[in-house]
Amino acid sequence: MMLITATAHAQTATATVKTAPRVIPELPSNAPSPLPPDVAASSMIVPDGFHVTLFAAEPMVVQPISFAIDDRGRIWVAEGLNYPNRGAEPHDRVLILEDTDGDGAADKSTVFYDKIAYATGIEVGHGGVWIMSPPQMLFIPDRDHDDRPDGEPVVVLDGFGNEHSAHNIVNGFTWGPDGWLYFGHGRTNPSEVGKPGTPADQRIHVDGGVCRYQPVTGVFENYADGTTNPWGVAFDDYGAAFVTNCVTPHVFHMIQGGHYEPWRNRPASKYAYERLPTIADHKHFAGDKWQDSRSGAVNSQLGGGHSHCGAMVYLGDNWPDIYRNDIYTCNVHGHRMNHDHLSFRGSSYVASHNDDLALSRDPWFKGVTLDYGPRGEVYMSDWNDTGECHDYKETHRETGRLFRITYGELNGKPVDIAKFTDAQLVAAQLNHNDWYVAHARRVMQERAAAGTLGKDVAPALRKIFDDNTDVTRKLRALWAMHVIGADDDAFLTAQLGHDSEHVRGWAVQLLCEDHEPPAPALDTLAKMAATEPSPRVRLQLASALQRLPLDKRWAIAEALIGHAEDVDDAYLPLMYWYGIEPLVVADRTRALGLVSRTKIPLIRTFIAKRVVDR
């Protein structure tokens, strides 16, 4: 079988990026005031050819805890005015910032809503605005797009924990390529999530990691468990999910059903025994104690410290392509934007240290959110405060900035994806800037749900999938077909034999999305598990195990654990175990039979341990 792999991305695995020096003078933490906003922008250190300009600052915007970019390229900012006072009178706000004259700076600010209790995340789509406000997830409708709420916020979900800390909490939103709304969850505020009125015994326990919500069906799920305080979820050109994280290692490749370091006594990981490691081959601080990483020249040289906030995999079209598919995060103590290069390793990735993309001279700079827009420009929000990363003792509420980072000349013109014709939405799937791709895909999903999407869309997407030789374009077409319901079981089952490992992997994931793949697909999955040459596809098969009924797992599991070549892979043995563990409880005798057949010692050890660990 010929494998079409992501050669363009893999070829950059050893590439180095010439950027600004990483070391900057130690900045005083007790500076009486921040740099003026325009000076903070102009003095930021960036690589040659890049430019930083001020998009917005106080008093136009303060406490920018999160932001989202709408279909017109406007920025919707959630202002965390109540932080850290949970339970205070609700007056966190949502602002719409707009550059009406095209000069690169916001000149119009609209208050959309100003009575949110405790905002920690925002996203726009499906006829309104999604707000994370623990203990509630809210939806504020604006179906006529007049920038005024159609009514009061609707509580979509409740039960999110907010009692134990003000910061290590459920946060952020990101639209995934599969049409779900993804968000992070800190580990110190466990949640019992459900729709309002859901009985306690029917709620879903969450104690850290990544969750997701399906806006059309209203389904909520745990996606992956672990990490410490993941604040930011991002996807690459192949649909892989990544989070950046505080305290413990700073970047993880998130696999559906994975259990991630650290454990921290999470009930959900009790029988995981071992957890998936970071993909980072480095730390941004010296030594083993993160508590000592908040300052110092050595930590500055390594990247600035242990505290990271925001995640962006750059898929825009303004920065040079060498920056594409790499992950970027704000380093809070280091006053900068870290840059890690992503390349394939085994079934997963490795994140390697690159020189920082931006270094601030402002001692109050604290980056929070990163995202790229319709012209490939990148926006970075600045909480702008003193103290360490939490800032809960003497919070300054009068500051906040958004910076814009561009390379060379900025091309593009005003756009409104929501007004695209169906044909334009399909054509947008081929745009080099994934901002167009993602927004157009979501609008197609909205129209399909409303019954207003034309019949010509599905065949047009299928043509892209069939004819385009670039696997990332095939994936875009596949994801768009999925969100509009045009990827039936027969089509997906056929793709299990596709030449591209990435298409095969996504066919596995989408077939098992509803926990009920058809019998022909199950037969093929079992055969694939024995013969599949790609470790990345085997990883998807391992992930899919957890979405299958127990009696449908055995054949696939037995075939997967026969791959001796997976013994040293960082992810595969553990992901195999996570899918097998419930089988040990369900049928101890049959599970013990796997002990003699597996070629992976870890599986043998864990089965034996689980048999007696009841």
pLDDT digits (tens, 9 = 90+) for 471-498: 999 999 999 999 999 999 999 999 999 9
Nearest-angstrom CA–CA distance, 316 and 314: 6
The mean per-residue pLDDT over the stretch 140-161 comes to 97
The mean per-residue pLDDT over the stretch 315-329 comes to 98
The mean per-residue pLDDT over the stretch 386-414 comes to 86
Query: Quick one: what percent of the chain has pLDDT higher than 90?
Result: 81
Query: Quick one: what percent of the chain has pLDDT higher than 70?
Result: 93
* Predicted local distance difference test score (pLDDT) of residue 418: 98
Residue type, 341: H
Give, rounded to a whole angstrom, the gap between the first and last alpha carbons of the chain.
44
Strand partners, 234: 242
Mean pLDDT for the chain overall: 92
Do the Cβ atoms of 164 and 223 come closer than 8 Å?
no
The mean per-residue pLDDT over the stretch 532-557 comes to 98
- pLDDT > 90? residue 266: no
* Predicted local distance difference test score (pLDDT) of residue 19: 47
- pLDDT > 90? residue 597: yes
Give the pLDDT band (50/70/90) at residue 282.
confident
Domains 41-407 and 417-612 share a fold: no
* Predicted local distance difference test score (pLDDT) of residue 248: 76
Do the Cβ atoms of 504 and 537 come closer than 8 Å?
yes
Do the Cβ atoms of 178 and 198 come closer than 8 Å?
no
* Predicted local distance difference test score (pLDDT) of residue 289: 62
The mean per-residue pLDDT over the stretch 347-365 comes to 96
Q: Give the gyration radius of the chain's Cα atoms.
A: 23
Residues 6+ apart with CB under 8 A from 14: none
Domain boundaries, the chain: 41-407, 417-612
Do the Cβ atoms of 211 and 185 come closer than 8 Å?
yes
- pLDDT > 90? residue 3: no
The mean per-residue pLDDT over the stretch 461-473 comes to 98
Q: Residue 190: helix, strand or coil by DSSP? A: coil
Higher pLDDT, 28 or 238: 238
Do the Cβ atoms of 226 and 184 come closer than 8 Å?
no
CB atoms inside a 10 Å sphere around CB 355: 16
Q: 6-20, 88-102, 127-141: lowest mean pLDDT where?
A: 6-20
Cis peptide before 374 (omega within 30 of 0): no
Strand partners, 157: 137
In eight-state DSSP terms, residue 45 is: B
Do the Cβ atoms of 314 and 335 come closer than 8 Å?
no
The mean per-residue pLDDT over the stretch 375-394 comes to 84
* Predicted local distance difference test score (pLDDT) of residue 395: 81
The mean per-residue pLDDT over the stretch 22-31 comes to 64
Higher pLDDT, 124 or 3: 124
* Predicted local distance difference test score (pLDDT) of residue 84: 85
Residues 6+ apart with CB under 8 A from 593: none
Distances 58 to 38, 116, 248, 375, 568 between C-alpha atoms, Å: 11, 20, 33, 25, 52
Tokens of residue 272, six digits:
């995981």
Nearest-angstrom CA–CA distance, 550 and 579: 9
* Predicted local distance difference test score (pLDDT) of residue 596: 93
* Predicted local distance difference test score (pLDDT) of residue 21: 46
- pLDDT > 50? residue 350: yes
Give the pLDDT band (50/70/90) at residue 284.
confident
Nearest-angstrom CA–CA distance, 36 and 15: 36
* Predicted local distance difference test score (pLDDT) of residue 14: 39
* Predicted local distance difference test score (pLDDT) of residue 388: 67
Tell the CATH topology of 41-407: Neuraminidase (2.120.10)
- pLDDT > 90? residue 111: yes
Domain 417-612, second-level architecture: Alpha Horseshoe (1.25)
Q: Which of 211, 485, 480, 431 is nearest to 316 (CA)?
A: 431
Q: 19-28, 312-321, 404-413, 497-506: lowest mean pLDDT where?
A: 19-28
| Total residues belonging to the chain | 614
* Predicted local distance difference test score (pLDDT) of residue 246: 83
Nearest-angstrom CA–CA distance, 382 and 63: 8
- pLDDT > 80? residue 429: yes
